[in-house]
Amino acid sequence: MIKILLIAILLNIQLQATSISDFINKNNCDQVIDKQVLQICYSYKNKGALFVGYRLDGTLVNKKNIKKRASFYNEKTISMQYRSKSSDYKKSGYNRGHLAPDAAFDYDKKVLRKTYTMANVIPQVPRVNRYTWIKAERYARSIAYKLGTATVINGVIYSDNPQTIGKNKVAIPDAYWKMIVNNEHNFKKCFYYENNNNIITKKDKLKQHQVECSTLLK
């Protein structure tokens, strides 16, 4: 009886396990872009990502820290009419905000460059990008280092009729979130950020953005 209960518990845990494919799949995405170290769920309407997922190796996240960064490039696997371009951000007031951050992959030049595809970029308010969102990115790396690995899924929330920037009309998100998971250690935490110019960053704490992961999927 005890053995049967243990098997049932293990099966239940497996069913509840979170994976990148739960979010990035043909049902959710107009196009799935596989960059090997990161996967992108791309929206043609918004000309940007809906989800970006990747797995962090705790032995690599702080291994080298390459200082020289790559240049942003157009994602040629996307048809021209659906692409965003770096020029769309010029004088827009928004940063080219990474979803899979370069700092998580700066242990190898070729790997680092994969994060600079424009498909991995959304219009982010500078304050959020530079002072608040970055804390969640650092936390994800610390969890990977502590637990050995971490799966990270970033979600982007758009309104039905979002404002846009640039010639290609790239949609500006209302908000975005980060889910950090290690199924083996039963670890899952989620953080939510509004893409708002009026946020106050001076006393911002990571825990202020923590939310129940279930609220992100409604």
Enter the pTM of the model: 0.90
When pLDDT is cut at 50, 70 and 90, the band that residue 199 belongs to is confident
DSSP code at position 167:
T
Q: Please tell me the distance from the alpha carbon of residue 27 to that of residue 158, in angstroms, as a whole number.
A: 18
- Asked if the model's pLDDT at residue 49 lies above 60, the reply is yes
* DSSP run (H or E) holding 137: helix 133-147
Q: Quick one: which of 171, 186, 176 has its CA closest to 209? A: 176
Q: Tokens for 196? A: 């708002």
Tens of pLDDT, residues 52-78: 999 999 999 988 889 888 999 999 999
Q: What is the pLDDT of residue 11?
A: 39
Q: Quick one: which of 173, 163, 144, 75 has its CA closest to 115? A: 75
What's the mean pLDDT in 108-134?
A: 96
Q: Please tell me the distance from the alpha carbon of residue 176 to that of residue 136, in angstroms, as a whole number.
A: 12
Whether the Cβ atoms of residue 21 and residue 30 lie closer than 8 Å to each other: no
Please give the CATH number for the structural domain made up of 20-217: 3.40.570.10
- Asked if the model's pLDDT at residue 167 lies above 80, the reply is yes
When pLDDT is cut at 50, 70 and 90, the band that residue 5 belongs to is very low
- Asked if the model's pLDDT at residue 10 lies above 60, the reply is no
Q: What is the pLDDT of residue 16?
A: 67
Q: Tokens for 23? A: 């979010």
Whether the Cβ atoms of residue 51 and residue 38 lie closer than 8 Å to each other: no
What's the mean pLDDT in 168-194?
A: 97
Q: Quick one: which of 49, 142, 145 has its CA closest to 100? A: 49
What's the mean pLDDT in 80-97?
A: 97
- Asked if the model's pLDDT at residue 9 lies above 50, the reply is no
Q: Where are the domains of the chain?
A: 20-217
- Asked if the model's pLDDT at residue 39 lies above 60, the reply is yes
What's the mean pLDDT in 73-98?
A: 97
Region for residue 213 given its phi and psi (left: phi exceeds 0; alpha: psi -120 to 50; beta: otherwise): alpha
Q: Please tell me the distance from the alpha carbon of residue 195 to that of residue 193, in angstroms, as a whole number.
A: 6
Q: Tokens for 54? A: 């990747």
Return the residue matching tokens 């791309």: 42
Q: In b/e form, how buried is each residue of 47-80, taking b as 16+ CB within 10 angstroms?
A: bbbbbbbbbbebebbeeeebeeebebeebeebee
Tens of pLDDT, residues 144-163: 999 999 999 999 999 999 99
Q: How many helices (H) and strands (E) does the chain have?
A: 4, 11
